Amino acid sequence: MIKLTRIVESLPSSVPFVGPETQERTNNQKFLSRLGANENVFGPSPKVFQAIKNSVNDIWRYADPESYDLKVAIGKHENIKLENIVIGEGIDGLLGYLCRLLVAPKTSVVTSKGAYPTFNYHVSGFGGNLHFVPYKNDYEDIEQLIFKAKIAKAKLVYIANPDNPMGTFHSRTVIEDLVDNLPEDLILCLDEAYSEFVPKNELPKIDPSNPNVIRMRTFSKGYGMAGARIGYAIGESKLIKAFEKIRNHFGINILAQRAALIALQDQDYLNSVMRAVNISKKQIMTIASECGLKSVKSLANFVAVDCGRDASFANSVLQGLVKQRIFVRMPFFSPQSRCIRISAGKPSDLKRLEKIFPKVLNEVNASKSF
C-alpha cells in the first residue's frame, strides 16, 4: 500500500476554488458571462498579444530561469533592486513557496476568517496551524490580526489589500503604521493582487529591505493575464534569495515571461482598463441599488453586492444567476457570505446582468423558502 506523508493523509480532499469549467461540465451548459473569478475581461494590451505571437517560435526553449529581463523591468517600474524581486507562477505559486520557506508542522499562522483561501491551503499543506480573525465591518481587522499573532506566537500573518472577497482597502497610513509596529519575529505577507486598481499615491510605501514584509503582485488581475500564470514578490534580499533554494526554476513559461515585460511597459493601456473597470463597477452598484441592495465600496476589480439577508439567501441568488449562465461567486463565511461577488465585466456582460439580476432576485424573494 502506498502511504502518503502524515500531513497529506490528514488533509481534506478539497480545493480552494472549483473552476467554472467544472460547473459547465456538471450543468452541461456554458457560461455566457464569466464574472466569478475576478479575471480581467478586458484582457492584456494589444502589444502583449503581439509579444506572445512573436515568441511562439521559441516555445521549444526553456525560458530564462532567472527571468532577468523581466526582473530588470519590474525593478525599474517599482524603483527597487533586482535582489528584492522573485518571479513566480502567479501569487498562488509564490504563496506556496513562501509557506514552504516559513511553515513547518505546527507553525502558527494568522489570517482572516473568509479571506483568500489559497493561502490557507498552502499553510495546511506544510502542516501549519491556522488561526482566524473575523472581519470587522467588511474589512480585515488589522488590530486583531496582530493581537492574535502575538498571542499565538505566529510566524506569518496574511493580509490582502485590497481584500478579496470584499474589495475593501486599508489606507496607506494604516498599512505603513502596521509595518512600523510589526513584532520582530513576525512576517507580514501583504497580498497586493489588486494593487493596480488603487491610485498609485494611495499604495503604502514600504522599504523593500524590511525583513518583516513580503509583498505579492500579479499579472493576473490589472494586466489581464490570469491564464499566463506569472507574478512576483518584493522582499528583503535574504528572504528573496531563499526562494532560489526551493522554487521551480523552470516554472515560468517563455510566453508569460515576455508578455509580462511588455505589459509592464504599456501603462497607457493599463490606465484605459482601469477606467473601463471603474465604469463597470459603478454599473454593478447601480444594478444592485435599483433592486434595493447595497454594495460594499471596492478598490479591486469586483463588487460585493450585499443581498441583505443570510448566506442561504445569497446562495439562492447566486444559483439563479448561474442557471441563467452568469458565473459569479460568493464569500465562504458569515458575515461576508450575505454578499455575492461580481467581477467587472464588458458592457455586454453588464447588459445581461441588468436584465437577469432583478428577475432572479424577484424569483428568490417570491420562493417559499424565504
Residues that bind ligand PLP (CB under 6 A): 38, 90-92, 116, 160, 164, 191, 193, 218, 220-221, 226, 231
Residue type, 97: Y
Shortest distance (Å) from residue 119 CB to ligand PLP: 8
Residue closer to ligand PLP, measured from CB, 218 or 324: 218
Round to whole Å and give the CA distance between 351 and 82: 45
Residue closer to ligand PLP, measured from CB, 52 or 94: 94
Residue closer to ligand PLP, measured from CB, 116 or 269: 116
Residue closer to ligand PLP, measured from CB, 93 or 320: 93
Nearest-Å Rg of the Cα atoms of the chain is 21
Shortest distance (Å) from residue 192 CB to ligand PLP: 8
Contact between 228 and 259 under an 8 Å Cβ cutoff? The reply is yes
The x, y and z cell numbers of residue 362, run together, are 424577484
Residue whose C-beta lies closest to ligand PLP:
90
Shortest distance (Å) from residue 220 CB to ligand PLP: 3
DSSP 18: -
Contact between 234 and 217 under an 8 Å Cβ cutoff? The reply is yes
DSSP 45: -
Shortest distance (Å) from residue 184 CB to ligand PLP: 26
Bridge partners of 187?
A: 156
Residue closer to ligand PLP, measured from CB, 324 or 343: 343
Contact between 193 and 91 under an 8 Å Cβ cutoff? The reply is yes
Angle between helix 347-366 and helix 267-290 axes, rounded to 10 deg: 30
Residue closer to ligand PLP, measured from CB, 112 or 220: 220
Residue closer to ligand PLP, measured from CB, 52 or 360: 52
Shortest distance (Å) from residue 162 CB to ligand PLP: 8
Number of neighbours of residue 103 by Cβ within 10 angstroms:
22
- CB-side neighbour CA atoms (13 Å) of 160: 29
Contact between 6 and 305 under an 8 Å Cβ cutoff? The reply is no
Shortest distance (Å) from residue 54 CB to ligand PLP: 24
The x, y and z cell numbers of residue 290, run together, are 435599483
Residue closer to ligand PLP, measured from CB, 339 or 360: 339
Residue closer to ligand PLP, measured from CB, 342 or 360: 342
By C-alpha distance, which of 176, 180, 173, 208 is closest to 79? 208
Shortest distance (Å) from residue 29 CB to ligand PLP: 25
Contact between 110 and 159 under an 8 Å Cβ cutoff? The reply is no
Shortest distance (Å) from residue 242 CB to ligand PLP: 20
What values do phi and psi take at 18, rounded to 5?
A: -90, 130
The single residue listed with the C-alpha cell 517560435 is 57
Round to whole Å and give the CA distance between 155 and 115: 18
Shortest distance (Å) from residue 229 CB to ligand PLP: 7
